[in-house]
Structure 1
Amino acid sequence: MTIDIVILAAGQGTRMHSALPKVLHCLAGEPLLQRVVNTASSVPDSKIIIVTGRASEEVKASISGEQIHYAQQDEQLGTAHAVQAAVSVSGPSDITLVLYGDVPLISKETVLAVIDTVDNDTMALLTVTLEDPEGYGRILRDKQGDVCGIIEQKDAPPEALKIQEVNTGVLALKTSHLREWLPQIDNKNTQGEYYLTDLVAIAKRSGIHVVTKMPRFPQEVAGVNTRIQLSKLERFYQQQQAEKLMMSGVTLADPNRIDIRGSLSSGNDNFIDINVVFEGVVKLGNNVSIGPNCLITDSMIGDSVQVKANSVIEKSEIYSNAVIGPFARLRPGTVVCKNAKIGNFVEVKNTQVGIGSKISHLSYVGDAELGADVNVGAGTITCNYDGANKHKTIMADNSFIGSNSSLVAPLKIGKNATIGAGSIIIKDVPDDQLTLARAPQKNVPYWVRPTKKK
């Protein structure tokens, strides 16, 4: 069975008051449309057709996935008109499913339930019951309880407005039926648009039974038309992620103050303080402690690691029992081995910090390789960039770098070597030696400090 999944994404999104197309606004760090595409891509034997309008090239450039095709809706004449644009570029298929680019949280399970309902005698419609159905099309049922039509709110009489079961817009039917019925839809309504919802009445007249399904949560089918609606969906999504974490053995200081903008896998007995943001793919081991106000992106954090407050970790690997922060910044390519420490106001980039090594405070170490038990004093910097190229600094096992030292790469500091504080090192340092590189100190006797003239 082959399936065409049509995703409508041509709307202007004027209520967002944005130059960015509405479907490219992000929920949990990912465009709304991309989330729908991800769900659609999980359906076997499917082809995705995205209907675009405004800023179609920008939309195409922003969305990734396989088996994606595009159709253009130049005029916004309604949902049926948009689906007609998709049908005109689609090939043969058994079933057509219609989704929406601004309804980002619909689940794979719900989509498959809708598809599985369809056969030669059945059309599937996703509905939801709302306490406040304002703005939605109402589901009309006959005396037997069967769906017989959908009426849009602007066309509905007062008695119909009391109905709480509403249309989500998501439907699936045989592609042959869709191709036959679309030309029968007219625009004789208050909006002067071609409503896809008219398919329900046409199916009823054609002897096709309309079966309804409901999502697990109403938020699955909530659309985004304003930034307020987007923020509510964001909070719902983050609450769901927080609950999954806690159920898996993670303690959250406040479940309302964590953001997961990607995927986070976690071991047991981890603690995450307030205002921690995870981006991309992050993996936590066991017994990890993360302090408040941290940002962690595309990184792996091993067992019993402490990440202290206000630290930023990006595309890095941190192994067991390491300590990071507070106020540390780990830039891409950083590897912190077990029992190592990156302290407060330390920036590290593209560097391996060996077992038990320490960069405790106020330092920049880039493009470097630290062996085991290296101690880097406060104020140390690796001068790794010559204005055109990056160069490497190697600090061998048990070397000691005195405070306020500048290490001019390319450079190798030998095993057990010691660099005196305040040195500028421009040549390799042998093993087991003390190296000093300071200008001679000069004391000026009887010198009088200048004073301001009155």
Structure 2
Amino acid sequence: MKSQTPKPLHRVLGRPMVVHVIRAAAQSGCSRAVVVEKDGAISSVLGESVDGFPVSYAAQDVPLGTGDAVRCTLPQLRSDDVVVILNADLPCITAEAIRRLMQAHIPESLVVATSRCDEPGSYGRIVRADGGVVAIVEAKDATEEQLAIQEVNQGLYVVGGDVLAELIPQLGNSNAQGEFYLTDLVHLLAQSGRPADGIEFDNSGELMGVNDRVQLAEADASLRGRVLKHHMEQGVTIEDPARTVVEDSVTIGADTVLEVDVTLRGTTRIGSGCHIGQGSILTNAVVGDNVTVLPYSIMDDAVVEDGARVGPFARLRPGAHLCAESRVGNFVELKKTRLGVGSKANHLSYLGDAEIGEGVNVGAGTITCNYDGTHKYKTVMEDGVFIGSDTQIVAPVTVGKGAYVGAGSTVTEDVPAGALAISRTPQVNKEGWVERKSGSSGEKES
């Protein structure tokens, strides 16, 4: 990967690769995961669980091969465990593939996932005899005859905890790499009359490994396509799947339309009948039914209720909450603000730390001045308030029910219900001022 980041932590569709592997294991029916790591690099990111699935860790301080990695996990395994061994760089692995392997489990022996490749390259070769798998030979240790084998090891195994406890200590490192190969278990089993079984998978991409940035991009594209296909099959229109990103934790209701260049991340939930405009990016957003998001709007940890309208070029920061049928227009930014039912802020405004009631109109250029350099303060606009354009509201301020604030005002005190607040300087017209300034009979200098 040519990176200081451990390979399992490189992201595919918004999540570290290893998270995709753990989630597939959880969905397949596994009870827990043991992750082999160095220097706490993975545990510091994932913690003790992934989506509630328990994860523990085994330290491999010096990388001495896959067999040594499994040896590090033995203290956490029981003899009656059925152990699924997965590479952490298989982000496209599915629960179905893991279940298929588990169903083929052979007591006292091992099952390995294989596939066929026209150009096997660096993959370990599967050597069969009498129908069973008797050896897996790494490419660097293979003979010319073995290199011609097209069935290859995909790095997934199912084996009993008792078999691992018996044979892992017997692994040697007399090979070109000087490492302890997990694949040598197959040879040890064959020697004891317990040949392994190989379950062949088609080369469809679900067992795609990632070893460089090119394969990382290919895995991302494969997983993204799988997610988009699922949503389209559930009734979502995606105008250009090649230019749309939807992470696998996102939910979308039927009859919603995603225009080109839309990105939906994290735990975003979108209801039915919505329209998400081009270039919009939603992260951990909750969007109700029949919501329109116009192009190039950004939402982070925001809530938008049924029938609301957002954008274009709007930004909803964490804590923004648009109630039903409310409107936020172009170049409007909300942060920790609740906009009541049917309220509108259609143009060029910043509303931060505010509680805005129902039927409120916020004029263009309105700013809630919520920060004094040390503390944040709250603005309250009660139901039916009308805020004129180019108004600054210096919090903490409450504008009472049905009150009006004149355009161009700076509000520093509470406004009573039903009152009109005006704070701008009275207009003065100075007749003849231009002529006197120019020092002429009214003609301006060229």
TM-score if structure 2 supplies the norm length? Answer: 0.91
Question: Quick one: which of 419, 426, 448 aligns to 2:437?
Answer: 448
Question: Quick one: which of 43, 61, 64 aligns to 1:74?
Answer: 61
- Structure 1, 262-271 or 345-354: larger mean CA deviation: 262-271
- Tell me which residue corresponds to 1:8: none
- Tell me which residue corresponds to 1:304: 290
Q: Deviations over 1:157-210 (max 9, x none)?
A: 333223221101211212222222223322222222221111112112222242
1:136 equivalenced with 2:119 (yes/no): no
Q: 1:215 to 1:378 in 2, by over 3 A?
A: farther
Q: Deviations over 1:119-160 (max 9, x none)?
A: 324421111222332110111112x33222111112223332
Q: Superposition pairs for residues 385-400 of structure 1, below 5 Å?
A: 385-400=371-386
Distance 2:315 2:209 in 1: 38
Given residue 115 of structure 1, which amino acid in structure 2 is its aligned partner?
Answer: M
Question: Quick one: which of 163, 166, 176 aligns to 1:180?
Answer: 166
1:124 equivalenced with 2:107 (yes/no): no
Distance 1:353 1:19 in 2: 45
Distance 2:240 2:368 in 1: 39
Question: Quick one: which of 397, 406, 412 aligns to 1:426?
Answer: 412
- Structure 1, 62-71 or 272-281: larger mean CA deviation: 62-71
Contact kept, 8 Å, 2:132 with 2:198, in 1: the verdict is no
Using the TM superposition, give the Cα deviation of residue 110 of structure 1 relative to its aligned residue in structure 2, in angstroms.
Answer: 1.9
1:286 equivalenced with 2:289 (yes/no): no
Q: Superposition pairs for residues 239-318 of structure 1, below 5 Å?
A: 239-318=225-304
Q: Superposition pairs for residues 222-233 of structure 1, below 5 Å?
A: 222-233=208-219
Q: 1:449 to 1:256 in 2, by over 3 A?
A: farther
Using the TM superposition, give the Cα deviation of residue 380 of structure 1 relative to its aligned residue in structure 2, in angstroms.
Answer: 0.2
Question: Quick one: which of 1, 4, 8 aligns to 1:23?
Answer: 8
Contact kept, 8 Å, 1:117 with 1:123, in 2: the verdict is no
SS of 2:107's equivalent? Answer: coil
1:167 equivalenced with 2:150 (yes/no): no
Contact kept, 8 Å, 2:393 with 2:410, in 1: the verdict is yes
Distance 1:256 1:122 in 2: 44
Distance 1:24 1:159 in 2: 37
Question: Quick one: which of 42, 47, 50 aligns to 1:59?
Answer: 42
Q: Deviations over 1:59-110 (max 9, x none)?
A: 2110131543322222222211221122245454432221112222222222
Distance 1:355 1:449 in 2: 54
TM-score if structure 1 supplies the norm length? Answer: 0.90
Identity of aligned residues (%): 38
- Tell me which residue corresponds to 1:338: 324
- CA root-mean-square deviation: 2.1
Contact kept, 8 Å, 1:262 with 1:278, in 2: the verdict is no
Distance 1:258 1:44 in 2: 31
Contact kept, 8 Å, 1:121 with 1:209, in 2: the verdict is no
- Tell me which residue corresponds to 2:443: none
SS of 1:100's equivalent? Answer: coil
Question: Quick one: which of 31, 35, 39 aligns to 1:50?
Answer: 35
- Give the number of equivalent residue pairs: 433
Question: Quick one: which of 72, 88, 105 aligns to 1:85?
Answer: 72
Using the TM superposition, give the Cα deviation of residue 30 of structure 1 relative to its aligned residue in structure 2, in angstroms.
Answer: 1.0
- Tell me which residue corresponds to 1:146: 132
- Tell me which residue corresponds to 1:4: none
1:355 equivalenced with 2:341 (yes/no): yes
1:32 equivalenced with 2:21 (yes/no): no
Given residue 84 of structure 2, which amino acid in structure 1 is its aligned partner?
Answer: L
Unaligned stretches of 5+ in structure 2?
Answer: 440-446
Distance 1:105 1:91 in 2: 28
Q: Deviations over 1:303-340 (max 9, x none)?
A: 21110000001111112221100000011111111221
- Structure 1, 310-319 or 179-188: larger mean CA deviation: 179-188
Q: Deviations over 1:3-26 (max 9, x none)?
A: xxxxxxxxxxxxx12121111111
- Tell me which residue corresponds to 1:10: none
- Structure 1, 113-122 or 325-334: larger mean CA deviation: 113-122
Q: Superposition pairs for residues 319-334 of structure 1, below 5 Å?
A: 319-334=305-320
Contact kept, 8 Å, 1:128 with 1:218, in 2: the verdict is no
- Structure 1, 213-222 or 132-141: larger mean CA deviation: 213-222
- Tell me which residue corresponds to 1:219: 205
SS of 1:57's equivalent? Answer: coil
Contact kept, 8 Å, 1:33 with 1:63, in 2: the verdict is no
- Structure 1, 440-449 or 254-263: larger mean CA deviation: 440-449
- Tell me which residue corresponds to 1:196: 182
Given residue 448 of structure 1, which amino acid in structure 2 is its aligned partner?
Answer: K
1:371 equivalenced with 2:357 (yes/no): yes
Q: Deviations over 1:341-362 (max 9, x none)?
A: 1000000111111121110010
Distance 2:199 2:299 in 1: 44
Given residue 243 of structure 1, which amino acid in structure 2 is its aligned partner?
Answer: K
